[in-house]
Amino acid sequence: MFDPFNDFEARGYLRNIEGEKNPDIVKRLEHDLFAANLSDAMVYLASKPFIEYVDFLCVHKILFGEFYPLAGQDRLKTTPNKAISKADTFFVIRRIRSER
């Protein structure tokens, strides 16, 4: 289980407000929140002539803020010493090093 804060047992997956640890329940809640809040996120984005990084954070908070208190916050601030990824996609890269 992905645990960037090293407190999964005490606070659940990604410190969610329920302290939920069951991955099936977490996935279902994430899916339901995404579906329920997608129209609000689209309205927000439609009001922007240009989408900037702060808007990305705002959309993340709109979509998942009811479940994750850290939703919408910059990962370099919440987990400054971690490289956040899912599968082969990295979401926060502090610096890219040459493989030479």
Q: Which of 38-52, 58-72, 82-96 has the lowest mean pLDDT?
A: 82-96
Q: How confident is the model at residue 60, as a pLDDT?
A: 96
- How far is residue 87's CA from residue 100's CA, in Å, rounded to a whole number? 23
What tens digit of pLDDT does each residue of 20-62 get? 888 899 899 999 999 999 999 999 999 999 999 999 999 999 9
Quick one: pLDDT band at residue 6, thresholds 50, 70, 90?
Answer: confident
Task: Answer yes or no: is pLDDT of 70 > 80.
Answer: yes
